[in-house]
Amino acid sequence: MSSTPLSKVLVIDDELGPRESLRILLKNEYQVFLAENVASGLRLLQEQGPDVILLDIRMPGMNGIDGLTEIRKLDQEVSVLILTGFGTLETAQEAIRRGANDYLKKPFDTREMQETVRKHVQRTHFQRRHRQTTEALRQINQMLIEELASKDRMAQMGQKTAEFLHDLRNPLTAVLGYVELLGDELRQSKDKLGSQWEETSEFLQNIEKNLEHCRELTQMWLQLGRKDRQAVQVLSLAELLHEVAESVHLQCLERGCQLKLDIPSGLPCQIEGEHVQLVRAFSNLVSNALDAVAEHTGSVAVRCRQEGPWVEIRIVDNGPGIAPENLTRIFEPYFSTKGKAGTGLGLFITQQVIVERGGTIAAESTPGAGATFIVRLPLAKKICKP
């Protein structure tokens, strides 16, 4: 049978008489420890962790008042009851101001003494439980804060991962498409591969280009968050847009749609930026337009013109356009009307890339009459003629 351990009372008194009588009066209800001076009382306090200390004031060596200060340095919660003899009442009251919890007058009224000790044992228990609860709450709070912080990190990671996968999807789809085509060609042209070689090698070149793009994207992913990402270069807008056209070539073929690049010759089209970022931005816009237009009759045009120190690139399609209530939301992350086929990150990423280059992007649409995305980018300084 397990019984709750007895509460502990420590008596610190230099006189044997009161020490012994307290022991006898309390021993049935408590574990009683006796000390004849403050030093051994402090030792017992550390060893036994009493619930109540009965502390005499007048003692040789360290007196009760100084002893109280030492006790409080070790234990804030234990109840300390001052034992007062004749003429030390004021000192006892002073002790209460300094952190004692109550006082008992010698000679003791047995019942009052037992009542007071009982009350203060409970008080100490309450204080300790209160501290434990407060500590437990603090720990829970800390855990919640850490969990929230880690959720936040996870959310950021999740967002970046989704962006990364989104970016990887287009070039990988293209690679897979070409690989499939190549496989077909090789199978059909087994015997006469010689005459087919030109086309076959073109497919191979496309695979290489797309794989290179994947490599660049992977590198960008690894460098995410670092200030020294891919170097900002001066880029030819015409070359960049031809690269974009190549990256969506297969999508055009599949949908039987036309993509027209309208880049006036002599346009001083040098822009500054990270090559891979700008390719991804324009690929997203053209790819969206190709998604939107009708198969076989759809057409998408990319038109460039200079406006002072800016170049304006319009991506125009003859698809169904964008409903006004969606037009205000299309740049939000995860907004998509394509169900499982879309992540809704394309335009969000594109906007970030353009804004990072000091440019702007806007969408216009008359439902039923297509959509136009207007990108404005600053022309590269020095290199461009005004």
Ligand X SMILES: Nc1ncnc2c1ncn2[C@@H]1O[C@H](COP(=O)(O)OP(=O)(O)OP(=O)(O)O)[C@@H](O)[C@H]1O
- Residues at the contact surface with Mg ion, assessed by CB under 5 A: 288, 346
Quick one: 188 or 297, whose CB is closer to ligand X? 297
Spatial contact of 32 and 11, defined as CB atoms under 8 Å apart: yes
Structure tokens that stand for 336 in this block: 């998509």
- Nearer of residues 73 and 296 to ligand X, judged by Cβ: 296
Q: Does 244 bind ligand X (CB under 6 A)?
A: no
Say whether residue 335 binds ligand X (CB under 6 A): yes
Candidates 188, 223, 337, 366; binder of ligand X (CB under 6 A) is 337
Residue from 336, 354, 359, 377 touching ligand X (CB under 6 A): that is 336
Of 310 and 335, nearer to ligand X (C-beta) is 335
Which residue has the closest beta carbon to Mg ion?
346
Sheet of 371-378, strands arranged across: 258-262, 299-307, 310-317, 371-378, 360-365
Of 344, 359, 375, 379, the one binding ligand X by CB under 6 A: 344
Q: Are 276 and 336 in contact (CB under 8 A)?
A: no
- Give the phi and the psi of residue 306 in degrees, each rounded to 5: -90, 145
Question: Residue 371 interacts with ligand X (CB under 6 A)?
Answer: yes
Binding mask 131-170 for ligand X (x = CB under 6 A): -----------------------------------x----
Comparing CA positions, the residue from 30, 38, 107 lying closest to residue 66 is 38
Cα–Cα separations (whole angstroms), residue 230 to 205, 220, 225, 243, 355: 24, 7, 12, 18, 17
Beta carbon nearer to ligand X, 302 or 345: 345
Nearest distance in Å: CB 264, ligand X: 23
Q: Which stretch binds ligand X (CB under 6 A): 60-68, 142-150, 198-206, 335-343?
A: 335-343
Considering only residues 41, 67, 273, 346, which one is a binding residue for ligand X as defined by CB under 6 A?
346
- In this structure, what are the phi and psi dihedrals at residue 296, rounded to the nearest 5 degrees? 70, -35
Q: Which is nearer to Mg ion, 269 or 330 (CB)?
A: 330
**Binding of residue 378 to ligand X (CB under 6 A):** no
Is residue 343 close enough to count as binding ligand X by CB under 6 A? yes
Taking CB under 6 A as the criterion, the residue among 160, 242, 338, 381 binding ligand X is 338
Nearer to ligand X, 14 or 291 (CB): 291
49 binds ligand X (CB under 6 A): no
Using CB under 6 A, list all residues that contact ligand X: 166, 284, 288-289, 292, 317, 319, 322, 326, 330, 335-338, 342-348, 371
